[in-house]
Amino acid sequence: MFTKTAVVLLIGDELLSGRTTDKNLPVIAQKLGEKGIAVIEARVLPDIADVIVDTLRAWSPRVDYVLTTGGIGPTHDDITAACVAQAVDRPFVRHPDAEAALRSYYKPEDINEARLSMADMPQGASLIPNPVTGAPGFFINNIFVMAGVPSIMVAMLDFVVDFLTPGAVMHSQTLTTTLMEGDMAHVLSAVQDQYPDVKIGSYPHFQGKTRGVSLVLRTTDVHRLTQATDTLQAALNALMPTP
């Protein structure tokens, strides 16, 4: 139903050890969704070069866009940029504009080789500005490389989305109900069968004694969305206990 697709690669051992909870995927998914680009899968990858390179090579030809977060700082465990260079078969070289950005961000006495290494990128990469700490991300081919720190990632993402070709936007409607999933499953199936082009998701929530279900209908066709939503709402109303 989406016309454009993306994969998101969340890179960093800290996400796989339980130390850090990823906050970036939902933000990226939301932003891309608004642009009609579906995140069709996401992967959380360790700081292991072979894994990152293989994953980039496998996905780049399969989707419109590959977005990565994490691993572009100045320390030894920041290996994303070198992995992207290897994945796209380009030399890993110092980008003059990135070096200039770093030199203008830091005081001259704070410039050192570790900081300048953040300007090393695949040859031919274009920069993604970093308004927070100066060290830019970059993109090459269909791969967009962003920071892992959420405040920086968000700023970079705002820049990135302007470069992405929009797809057909997925519209959604959410119905909430106090009916239990098990009491309305047959109705959901029937409406899903009647509207195969509208994806219907059922998401129960349990907060203390409060239980409920959110039903999310999604499609690129606003007219069909309205029809399916009305049909489902009427069917749910018919299930509600009479007062």
CB-wise, 19 or 223, nearer to its own copies? Answer: 19
Give the closest residue to 126 by CA, choosing from 101, 154, 104.
Answer: 101
φ/ψ (deg, to 5) at 3:
-100, -20
Distances (CA, A) of 96 to 112, 117, 188, 217: 15, 12, 57, 48
Nearest approach, Cβ of 26 to its own copies (angstroms)?
A: 4
Tell me which residues touch its own copies (CB under 8 A): 12-23, 25-31, 33, 38-47, 51, 73-78, 106, 110, 112-115, 117-118, 132-133, 149, 151-152, 170, 172, 181-183, 185-186, 188-189, 192, 199-206, 216, 218
Nearest approach, Cβ of 103 to its own copies (angstroms)?
A: 13
Nearest approach, Cβ of 192 to its own copies (angstroms)?
A: 5
CB-wise, 20 or 142, nearer to its own copies? Answer: 20
| C-alpha span between 118 and 136 (Å, rounded) | 8
CB-wise, 85 or 149, nearer to its own copies? Answer: 149
| C-alpha span between 56 and 65 (Å, rounded) | 11
CB-wise, 73 or 122, nearer to its own copies? Answer: 73
| C-alpha span between 162 and 38 (Å, rounded) | 16
CB-wise, 3 or 172, nearer to its own copies? Answer: 172
Nearest approach, Cβ of 32 to its own copies (angstroms)?
A: 8
Nearest approach, Cβ of 141 to its own copies (angstroms)?
A: 23
Nearest approach, Cβ of 10 to its own copies (angstroms)?
A: 8
Helix segments in the chain, DSSP class H: 13-16, 24-34, 49-59, 80-87, 96-105, 113-116, 150-161, 181-194, 222-239
CB-wise, 90 or 199, nearer to its own copies? Answer: 199
| C-alpha span between 236 and 172 (Å, rounded) | 18
